[in-house]
């Protein structure tokens, strides 16, 4: 019974690390990058330059995430040492999300360019847009489980459905800017959630004193 209580305490402490909204802002920015990348391709920017822009912005987003956790979250709630298993889950999920984002942008860009030599292997697969959506849903459902964050289920929907929606709309209209619109709306919603959580976090958790912060680290 005592061991079960310890695990529950650790679970609650781990979930509290998502109160700062930084994960929400980070994922919202990555989703917005999808829309930016596909919009640049739509406007005729060469794919090599798009790759450079997206990877650079992705690295900046990762820098924001790491710096935010280190310089904003930790000074306010302290540094909690979680079990090795939970730390491993967090690292794996962070890596999975980042790799999924980069691969997703590259594959979508190749598909839109229409390079059959590079993307021909997926041509026989039915409903590639829906398959892409399924990957997003599985990835974020895994994140919801691994990170004990129920919001990831909703974010999985935000990542999954813009692509097939635009594919359907593109078959009926030549409207410019659909990619940015489709990805921009859900990304803005995620950013709003993140900013609200971030504001509440700064309001409710003032910086710890040096003595308390030292004790939390050691």
Give me the mean pLDDT over the 180-192 stretch: 95
Query: How far is residue 157's CA from residue 141's CA, in Å, rounded to a whole number?
Result: 10
Domain count, the chain: 1
Percentage of the chain with pLDDT > 70? Answer: 69
* The pLDDT value given to residue 183: 94
Bigger pLDDT: 126 or 69?
Answer: 69
Label residue 72 exposed, middle or buried (CB < 10 Å: 0-12, 13-18, 19+).
middle
Which residues form the domain of 209? 23-74+82-217
142 domain residue, yes or no: yes
1 domain residue, yes or no: no
18 domain residue, yes or no: no
* The pLDDT value given to residue 199: 95
110 domain residue, yes or no: yes
Query: How far is residue 169's CA from residue 125's CA, in Å, rounded to a whole number?
Result: 21
13 domain residue, yes or no: no
Q: Diameter of the chain by CA atoms? A: 63
- The token duo for 43 is 């406007």
10 domain residue, yes or no: no
Query: How far is residue 40's CA from residue 52's CA, in Å, rounded to a whole number?
Result: 12
Query: How far is residue 75's CA from residue 104's CA, in Å, rounded to a whole number?
Result: 35
Give the chain's mean pLDDT: 77
* The pLDDT value given to residue 168: 81
Query: How far is residue 174's CA from residue 211's CA, in Å, rounded to a whole number?
Result: 62
* Confidence class for position 154, pLDDT limits 50, 70, 90: very high
Give me the mean pLDDT over the 161-184 stretch: 84
* The pLDDT value given to residue 78: 74
Q: Which of 132, 158, 155 is nearest to 142 (CA)?
A: 155
* The pLDDT value given to residue 145: 79
68 domain residue, yes or no: yes
* The pLDDT value given to residue 63: 94
14 domain residue, yes or no: no
């Amino acid at each position: 019974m005592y061991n079960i209580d310890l695990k529950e305490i650790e679970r609650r402490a781990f979930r509290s690390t998502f109160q700062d909204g930084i994960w929400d802002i980070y994922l919202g920015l990555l989703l917005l990058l999808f829309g930016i990348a596909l919009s640049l391709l739509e406007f005729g920017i060469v794919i090599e330059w798009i790759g450079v822009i997206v990877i650079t912005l992705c690295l900046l987003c990762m820098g924001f995430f790491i710096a935010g956790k280190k310089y904003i979250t930790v000074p306010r709630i302290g540094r909690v040492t979680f079990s090795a298993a939970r730390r491993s889950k967090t690292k794996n999920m962070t890596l999975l999300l980042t790799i999924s984002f980069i691969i997703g942008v590259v594959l979508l860009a190749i598909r839109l360019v229409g390079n059959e030599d590079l993307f021909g292997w997926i041509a026989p697969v039915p409903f590639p847009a829906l398959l892409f959506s399924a990957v997003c849903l599985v990835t974020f459902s895994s994140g919801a489980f691994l990170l004990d964050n129920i919001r990831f289920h909703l974010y999985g929907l935000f990542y999954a459905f813009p692509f097939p929606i635009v594919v359907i709309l593109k078959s009926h209209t030549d409207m410019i800017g659909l990619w940015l619109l489709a990805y921009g709306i859900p990304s803005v919603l995620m950013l709003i959630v993140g900013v609200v959580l971030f504001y509440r976090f700064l309001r409710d958790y003032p910086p710890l004193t040096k003595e308390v912060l030292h004790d939390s680290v050691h």
